[in-house]
Amino acid sequence: MPASSQSGEIAPLDIMTFNLRYASASTPHSWAERRPVMRKLLRDEAPHLIGTQEGLYQQLRDIEQDLGAGYAWIGTGREGGSRGEFAAIFYDTARLTPLEYDHFWLSETPGTIGSTDNFRKKKERAGSPRMATCVRFGVQGTPSTFYAVNTHLDNRSEVARRRAATQLARYLTSRLDPALPRIVTGDFNAPATPGTSVYDTMLNAGHLVDSWTHATTRGEHYGTWHGYQRPVPGGVRIDWILTSPDITTRYAAINTYRDQGQYPSDHLPVQAVITLPPPGSSGGRWPRAASRWARLRRKAGSRRRR
């Protein structure tokens, strides 16, 4: 399918968010057992962009190899370099070109690699360093560009999740060019329901919409964490694809693929088919911040793999 039609409409992009479950040799559900299932799922679905969580460096290299030569990825370990879990973004090199990227940590010192906030009360502290990866992509064959932000919020502390959501919303509205569409993928470790602080903050303060609820059509609703058990219909969605309101979501789905009972991860991938707005049609509701984005420095020693 061409990147744009004669009418000027940008061809749809297939987006996925997927908590990969970090690679482990422990059975059952070791990475060696899960990798062939992961390979088949990703090859069959062939998303144009995949926001991943929990991937370890060698695991991401395995996925890069399994996806084939048409994909590359951008990311860095949350403990710096190749250390720790990644919030890596894979992309189809035939459709998307990375123009610039940034990594930051969900803490009071976002430019400090591996940073966490050392609050006095344990319940206020994240259990491990948390971070986000942001890439500005160009859509090949078109003048369109957009931001992709991928993250993984803390699983232990609700206070840390709330603080991270506020930081992410502030980043989206003060550090990025408001004229450009935005896609936010992640495991938010919080229910995607109104009244949940993290969800409300991302949508309201971050000026985003939930692709699941805004999709023209969608598949069956399942809880997105299943722990290798049968997925729960109507369960809690903690893995989200959020977009700026100017993006149209044509279809959204939660993928329950397994092979002979083996799931690729303990989370289900969430997918959305989206259409970007025509270039120049997006309007910001906050001060323009393109120059601030341009001054960002790539301090984290991130990997861009081809």
Confidence at residue 300, expressed as pLDDT on a 0 to 100 scale: 40
Copy the structure tokens of residue 248. 């149209």
Higher pLDDT, 22 or 125: 22
Confidence at residue 125, expressed as pLDDT on a 0 to 100 scale: 84
Q: Which residues partner with 53 through β-bridges?
A: 19
Most confident of 4-18, 35-49, 272-286, 291-305: 35-49
Of 59-73, 118-132, 192-206, the one with minimum mean pLDDT is 118-132
As a whole number, mean pLDDT of residues 37-62 equals 98
The Cβ-side half-sphere exposure at 273, using a 13 Å CA radius, reads: 11
Instruction: Evaluate whether 91 touches 49 at the Cβ level (below 8 Å).
Output: yes
The continuous run of DSSP H or E covering 52 comes out as strand 49-53
Please give the full DSSP string across 117-175, using - where no structure is assigned.
Answer: ---SSGGGS-SS--EEEEEEEEETTSS-EEEEEEEE--SS-HHHHHHHHHHHHHHHHHT
Using one digit for the tens of pLDDT, what is the confidence trace for 8-37? 678 999 999 999 999 999 999 999 999 999
C-alpha 233/C-alpha 97 separation (Å) is: 37
Confidence at residue 27, expressed as pLDDT on a 0 to 100 scale: 98
C-alpha 216/C-alpha 218 separation (Å) is: 7
The model's pTM is 0.91
- Domains (ranges, CATH) in the chain? 13-282 (3.60.10.10)
Copy the structure tokens of residue 53. 């969580």
What region, left, alpha or beta, does residue 231 occupy, with left being phi > 0 and alpha being psi -120 to 50 degrees? Answer: beta
As a whole number, mean pLDDT of residues 60-85 equals 98
Mean per-residue pLDDT of the chain: 91
Confidence at residue 91, expressed as pLDDT on a 0 to 100 scale: 98
Say whether 43 sits in a helix, a strand or coil.
Answer: helix
C-alpha 40/C-alpha 44 separation (Å) is: 6
Using one digit for the tens of pLDDT, what is the confidence trace for 237-257? 999 999 999 999 999 999 999
Confidence at residue 238, expressed as pLDDT on a 0 to 100 scale: 98
Confidence at residue 281, expressed as pLDDT on a 0 to 100 scale: 76
Q: Give me the percent of the chain exceeding a pLDDT of 90.
A: 84
Residue 288 above 50 pLDDT?
Answer: no
Q: Are strands 270-275 and 248-254 parallel, antiparallel or unpaired?
A: antiparallel
